[in-house]
Amino acid sequence: MDGNGRWAERRQRPRTLGHRAGVKAVQVCIEYCLAQGIEALTLFAFSSENWNRPQEEVGALMKLFLRMLDSEVDELHRRGVRVAFIGDRPGFPEAIRARMAVAETLTRGNTRLVLTIAASYGGRWDIAQACRQLATEAAAGAIDPATIDEAMLHSRLGLADLPEPDLFIRTGGDLRISNFLLWQLAYTELWFTETLWPDLDASVLDAALAAFADRERRFGLTSAQVAGSTE
Ligand code: IPE
Ligand code: MG
């Protein structure tokens, strides 16, 4: 979700206003997934590196985060959305951590859409924490280091219980991953748009899905192999 700051700066308004405007685009995105039957949506809300922004902006984002947790979770639960968080939770104030836990517990049985919020998240952080878990288990004798494979690492990462992401969408015009789901994006289709996050609407998401439908996903195979396997 990129472009909130620029959206506000273009209006000669403080960057924090852009973050507030971005809330509507989050709602649009969730509604879109529910309407289209998309079963998993992962939003990159706040990166490991975003903590280094000016204190005032970080503070405003925390306030907004807290406010959204208070105002949105009940409605998401009613709509059948399971809410989950990935990222370095001890970095957050206790008030936010407590609400994250409440949201996850309340919505845990929902199956219509899994909404994962990546907050204080970095792809490198995720891989490092999974390695730390494996090392701890190996040191305790629970696993044999020689047996560690991709599936074992994967199962200790943030999105372990979801299918691999099909489509990555970045708004705001920059053509990079910026430490999002580094492991999980190995074969994900990437799609970029100049649209700033607060301007995101269903027509932008339609364009992303149309582009996705045109891609040939080969997963390292040849075109002929892929064509053969679908017959
Ligand atoms: C993304 O918008 C939202 C967060 C990082 C929380 P930005 O704040 O990065 O917006 P730009 O890139 O400065 O326009
Ligand atoms: Mg940005």
Whole domain around residue 87: which residue ranges? 4-229
179 is catalytic: no
How far is it, in rounded angstroms, from Cα 51 to Cα 19?
A: 15
Å from CA of 191 to ligand 2 middle: 16
Which residue from 1, 4, 47, 120 has its CB within 8 A of the most atoms of ligand 1, so it is best to mutate? 4
pTM of the predicted model as reported, rounded to 2 decimal places: 0.96
* Residues 18 and 7 sit within 8 Å (Cβ to Cβ): yes
Q: How confident is the prediction along the chain (231 residues), in pLDDT tens digits per residue?
A: 999 999 999 999 999 999 999 999 999 999 999 999 999 999 999 999 999 999 999 999 999 999 999 999 999 999 999 999 999 999 999 999 999 999 999 999 999 999 999 999 999 999 999 999 999 999 999 999 999 999 999 999 999 999 999 999 999 999 999 999 999 999 999 999 999 999 999 999 999 999 999 999 999 999 999 999 765
Distance 62 CA to ligand 1 centre (A): 14
Let me know how long the chain is.
231
Cβ neighbour number for residue 20 with a 10 Å cutoff: 17
CATH for 218: 3.40.1180.10
Is residue 91 within 8 A of residue 137, CB to CB? The reply is no
Token couple for 168: 């990555």
State the total domains in the chain: 1
